[in-house]
Amino acid sequence: MKIATWNVNSIRARADRVEAWLERTDADVLAIQETKAKDESFPWEAFEFSGYEVAHFGLSQWNGVAIASRVGLEDVERTFPGQPSFGKEGQEPVQEARAIAATCAGVRVWSLYIPNGRGLDDPHMVYKLEWLSVLRDRAREWLQEDPRAQIALVGDWNVAPQDHDVWDMQFFLDNGMTHVSAPERRAFQAFLDEGYRDVVRERLPGPEVYTYWDYTQLRFPRNEGMRIDFQLCSPALAERVSDVSIDRDERKGKGASDHVPVVIEVE
């Protein structure tokens, strides 16, 4: 079974590319982030025509997550218990459309779009760290309830956990940028400490293994990228992973997302 994750940066703008990619790669499950669509404007027919069931969670033109599966889509859950909310000053906090789960052929897949901290001193950074902390607590509880649980925490984490997960660590430090700060990295490491495994890094250990390239300043032609999209697998699921890949070619051509698909194959 192939499980993929992909931040598509607007599903309506890239429905044709996603449909073609699914047909070409024969993926069984695709977790999608940043759909930027409400449920009523999601292109359901593009997936259903190809034989996929879809669960989508979208509240506005921002954020949005989905799971498309042709191997079952059971027990759909929108948001995880205790998921933090966010609201601008003077506004009522809301739970954003950043997490959705479904069981696909026995694997509990979570499609996650972790908040972008925006700035080291920005209120969004506090929100991001709290969001990750609560998710970590839930992830720990799931393993405590069933150590053999088949869980995949996948998506755009907006964290580069190691120095070689960015093209130039000094550039990030000199500019006080997010994604590489010590608190963010500790929040990511906490999942590994609970037993979840970064199965892609285990099989692709070298530098310049990126999943994201900004649209500006020729970042992609210069290969100035970041690795911020992950598949963290529970111990029992990690044991079944037989292969991994990052489809760098999907960053090429007209209308590409700034992220690319990350794929695991499960025995």
- Active-site entry in 28, 127, 156, 198: 156
Q: How many CB atoms lie under 10 A from the CB of residue 183?
A: 15
- Active-site entry in 52, 165, 179, 259: 259
Pairing relationship of beta strands 2-7 and 29-33 according to DSSP bridges: parallel
Residue 259 marked as a ligand binder: yes
Listed in sequence order, the residues at least 6 apart from 171 whose beta carbon sits closer than 8 Å to its beta carbon are 177
Catalytic status, residue 113: yes
Residue 158 marked as a ligand binder: yes
Residue 164 marked as a ligand binder: no
Going across the sheet that includes 151-156, the strands are: 74-78, 99-104, 107-113, 151-156, 229-233, 197-198
Both tokens assigned to 29: 């499950």
Residue 7 marked as a ligand binder: yes
Q: How many CB atoms lie under 10 A from the CB of residue 205?
A: 9
Listed in sequence order, the residues at least 6 apart from 81 whose beta carbon sits closer than 8 Å to its beta carbon are 138
The answer to whether 21 and 47 have CB atoms below 8 angstroms apart is no
3-state secondary structure 43-55: CHHHHHCCCCEEE
- Active-site entry in 52, 113, 127, 212: 113
Binding site, annotated residues: 7, 34, 156, 158, 258-259
Please identify every residue annotated as catalytic: 113, 156, 259
Binding site, annotated residues for Mg(2+): 7, 34, 156, 158, 258-259
